[in-house]
Amino acid sequence: MALYEYSAFDAQGRKQRGVVEALSQKAASRKLRGQGLFPTRLATAGNTVGVAQRAFFRRVSAIQLGVATRQLATMLTAGMPLDEALVMVAEQQTQGSLGSVLTRVRDDVLQGTALHAALQAHPTVFSPLYTNMVRVGEASGTLDKVLLQLAEFTDEQARFNSQVKAALTYPLLMFLVGTGVLFFLMTFVVPKITRMLEDLEQTLPFPTLLLMSFSRFLATYWWLLLLVILACAFSFRRFSLTAKGRLWFDQNKYRLPFIGTLALQNATARFARTTATLLHSGVPLLVALEIVQNLLGNNYLQRAIEVVREKVTEGAGLSEPLHDAGVFPEMLPQMAAVGERSGDLEGMLFKVAEIYEHQVQTRLNGLMALLEPLMILVMGTVVGFIVLAILLPIFQASQGMG
């Protein structure tokens, strides 16, 4: 089947735009007329594969998806039919592929497909968490409320991720710029100066000799150093793609000093918030654990959640298997136990997520505040050594002349 982009008017005279899938242009026109649309423009958009490839380069951001979900929830709450709400939300998407995706979802809904099933046809846009919560909302008749919860969850995750990225951007940029400046000094500037120092025909001090040796090595064998770095990166990449290597990396990254603790707390917050959101929407615990297990993206944690699911299937609660797994921080099973006793498991999990998100943000800000002056100190020390190594023979020559 081919895809056709169309512009059309509905029975009320409102202009509609979107994408329709059909065997031919005539079939697409008949399909639109059957939906109560009168096309004014119908152009080939390419096949399904082409659209998927273009969507790869126009990914839907979490912020855009959260805004669209909130708009859809608001329209449904106001009593607007689902198909009309999907059209209105799709028309407001001016960037990326979300508008076309929502139009195709609307076409599937008009043909009798359930909304969650139509969303499942676009897994790169709608996660299993999203589609399962929509399925529960459709079954319980609370789709508008579930969509609002999804919007809040998506917004919260996007806000937290943007804060983490913003905290890491400046130190990373500073490191890259500093490394580039030092490489330029050592390979282009220092060799010219050291040639002038050699012309002085005097015994050079040890710091100057060390600087000259290191500069010659970089200028002569920079390609070999680059080759070694690329070979190591390639080897690590190949190893990480194996099941054993992926498990080793996923497990040991939580053992790194400073960063490992932050990564584990971040994963704990994500597990707690996602599970709580699913439970609050009416998703059974076993289904929620299966969804979260697939969303974590870490083999080490996924194996631990698999063991937890097996014990829950056998009749255990959530807190005891989490404690026995020994992977997550102790606060998670403790708060889960409190939630199970009080009958408010999702509420306790929400609190765990808030606590760890706050801790990650606070510790990350503190780490970045410490890292910035430390990087300046290291770079200042290196530059100071270069200046000292250059000035020492000059001072010696001036004293000899005196």
233 lies in which domain range?
Answer: 153-402
**DSSP reduced 3-state for 127:** coil
**What's the pLDDT tens digit per position in 92-113?**
877 767 888 888 888 888 888 8
Whether residues 202 and 329 share a domain: the answer is yes
**What's the pLDDT tens digit per position in 293-336?**
877 778 899 899 999 999 999 988 899 999 998 899 999 999 99
DSSP string, 351-384: HHHHHHHHHHHHHHHHHHHHHHHHHHHHHHHHHH
Residue 31 lies in a domain: yes
Whether residues 267 and 346 share a domain: the answer is yes
What is the length of the chain?
402
Whether residues 157 and 121 share a domain: the answer is no
The label of the residue with tokens 């079954």 reads: 139
Q: In whole angstroms, what is the distance from residue 208 CA to residue 388 CA?
A: 8
**DSSP reduced 3-state for 321:** helix
**DSSP reduced 3-state for 19:** strand
CATH number of the domain where residue 291 is located: 1.20.81.30
With a cut of 50, say whether residue 50 has pLDDT above it.
no
Is 358 or 2 the better-scoring residue by pLDDT? Answer: 358
**What's the pLDDT tens digit per position in 374-391?**
888 888 888 888 888 888
Whether residues 285 and 353 share a domain: the answer is yes
Q: Tell me, what's the pLDDT at 37?
A: 79
Q: In whole angstroms, what is the distance from residue 402 CA to residue 400 CA?
A: 5
Domain count along the chain? 2
Whether residues 229 and 106 share a domain: the answer is no
Are 112 and 102 spatial neighbours (Cβ–Cβ below 8 Å)?
no
User: Do β-strands 2-9 and 15-22 pair in parallel, antiparallel, or remain unpaired?
Assistant: antiparallel
The DSSP symbol for 123 reads T
What lies within 8 Å, CB to CB, of 76 at 6+ separation is 82, 85, 143, 144, 147
Whether residues 46 and 82 share a domain: the answer is yes
